Chain A
């Protein structure tokens, strides 16, 4: 089974680039630099001691839930910009939490297909609309501020990257932990266990960021292309795809994370990646 053997190097580089302050893990503090005013493309909690910039999903909720604003033009603009340029390349190459799940999936056990749970892939769109936008916008306190519902009740990255490391070195944080920490730890534990047996369960079923970027996969500047003259519809690309995409039919499906395994696997070199504003002439983008 051919694979994109160099992807992990980019994932490692992206994780280090977005989390350069390793010493903060031992000091129990978070970065207070000006870069926290911008967002990284992937899911990376801004309360991670090593984080240099902000999480886009957290930032959307922070702005929408603030008393001053009702919509986050700045952060959503950044997300659209990244989405149109890269689509879900972010998920496959730049997201630390996605890479964390991939590493867990390398633990040698029996692996299971997620195809039968396809219906669950729509859950992340519900979470995006409900927990990231609607609830922070509408459930507000007396001064008009809403909670970041996704960060508070669902996101396991905050516990993994912030809650656990900070509580290990800071007694006051440790003393403040209660039912919410337990609840989110259970979610994290569930994701960890599932990720060992299923490929990227959080990304497929729960991540609102992946839902958002997936909307742009069909129009993104970086995309996949299937050459209809070379493709024999043998299905090798679909069999290797861990995101359950029928690549030769829908190369730019919303679930594709652009990992490139299909490109490396295709026996006819029919799949190529394109980075262009223009439509490519003379080549089909799918084979019917």
Chain B
């Protein structure tokens, strides 16, 4: 179980790094700083 935990943590960090490298954080930021019309019920 210890190895599984360490592997999952490593996978998570790799995914975060890969996603940052691809520029996914900019998409998250762009969505977050603008009013989400779907979320507030406008559509």
Given A84-B12, A147-B38; A73-B24 close (CB under 8 Å): yes
CA distance A72 to B16 in the complex (A): 9
Residue of A nearest to B23 (CB): A68
Cross-interface CB contact of A37 among B1, B2, B17, B32, cutoff 8 Å: B32
Q: Main secondary structure on chain B at its contact with chain A?
A: helix
Cβ contacts B23-43/A at 8 Å (1 or 0 each) = 111111111110110111111
B-contacting 9-mer, from A6-14, A55-63, A189-197: A55-63
State whether A30 touches B2 (Cβ < 8 A): no
A151: interface (CB < 8 Å): yes
Residue of B nearest to A188 (CB): B41
> Looking at chain B, what size class is its interface with the partner chain?
35 or more
A74: interface (CB < 8 Å): yes
Given A37-B28, A37-B29, A75-B19; A219-B40 close (CB under 8 Å): no
State whether A80 touches B15 (Cβ < 8 A): yes
Give the chain A neighbours of B6 by CB distance below 8 A: 277
Shortest C-beta distance, A285 to chain B (Å), equals 9
State whether A77 touches B16 (Cβ < 8 A): yes
CA distance A30 to B34 in the complex (A): 8
Instruction: Provide 8 A-B residue pairs closer than 8 Å at the C-beta atoms, listed in order of the A residue.
Output: A54-B31, A80-B15, A162-B36, A163-B39, A163-B42, A181-B40, A184-B41, A277-B2
